[in-house]
Amino acid sequence: MLRTSFLLLLIWSAVCSMRTPGKAPTTVIFVNCAETTTNGGEPGLSLTGQQQSAHLAGFLKDMEIGAVYSPYSPCLIKTVEPLAQSKKCQVQYYRDATMDNMEAMEHILKTMMEVNDGKTIVVCAPGKSIIKMAGILGIREKELKSNRGVFDEVLIVNVLEIGSAVAQKLNMNFQKKV
């Protein structure tokens, strides 16, 4: 946890030195969906997925979070609900338009940035959507390395303005209990 905090502080200070004095960067923490299961009906979180969801809330417990966003998808919502509850806020829904309307997705992200300027927000989305949204914010896909699409990787993006950002991928070290 100390190493994670140090990395976040290092990234934050580098980004702050590049931004207009007096304006803090907006930090976007992207998370994938926790492990899911289908029990003949609507997909939900497996027992491991529920543990992962609780782990996310614990991983970010010391961070001030301005907002938590998720597309209206039960698995994605359940992934970030414990975090939102721990931060005493509600999950805010957005349309994931990354696969069909990038112009709309860019507008959605710009609105998120404007509403949360200088704050930290959490955005839960499928791995492919995260790559596209990070691209809109200014992170090139090759800088992301390979996205394994696993839950325990979070992508932290410090955004100076749309198109100008710095990213760091962190592993939350989630351990499955056997």
Q: Is residue 177 part of a domain?
A: no
The pLDDT of residue 38 is 72
Q: pLDDT digit string (tens) for 5-59?
A: 545 555 555 555 454 554 688 999 999 988 888 766 677 888 888 999 999 999 8
CB distance 33 to 76 below 8 Å: yes
Average pLDDT over residues 55-70: 93
Tell me the C-alpha to C-alpha distance, in Å, between residue 107 and each of 18, 29, 137.
24, 18, 11
pLDDT in tens, 125-168: 998 899 899 989 988 776 666 555 556 678 888 887 777 788 77
Classify residue 146: in a domain, yes or no: yes
Domain annotation covers residue 10: yes
pLDDT value at 178 more than 50: no
Query: Is residue 125 situated within a structural domain?
Result: yes
Name, in order, each residue with C-beta under 8 angstroms of 81's C-beta and a sequence gap of 6 or more: 53, 91
Tell me what the mean pLDDT of segment 76-81 comes to.
Answer: 94
Does any domain span residue 93? yes
CB 120 within 8 A of CB 63: yes
Q: Rounded distance, CA 98 to CA 69, Å?
A: 15
Q: Pick the residue with more confidence: 91 or 9?
A: 91
Query: What is the CATH number for 72?
Result: 3.40.50.1240
**How far is Cα 9 from Cα 43, in angstroms, rounded to an integer?**
37
Residue 176 lies inside a defined structural domain of this protein = no
- Domain that residue 121 falls in: 2-171
In a domain, residue 30? The reply is yes
What is the structure's pLDDT at 65? Answer: 95
Count of domains in the chain? 1
Let me know the angle formed at the C-alpha of 170 by 167 and 171, rounded to the nearest 5 degrees.
160
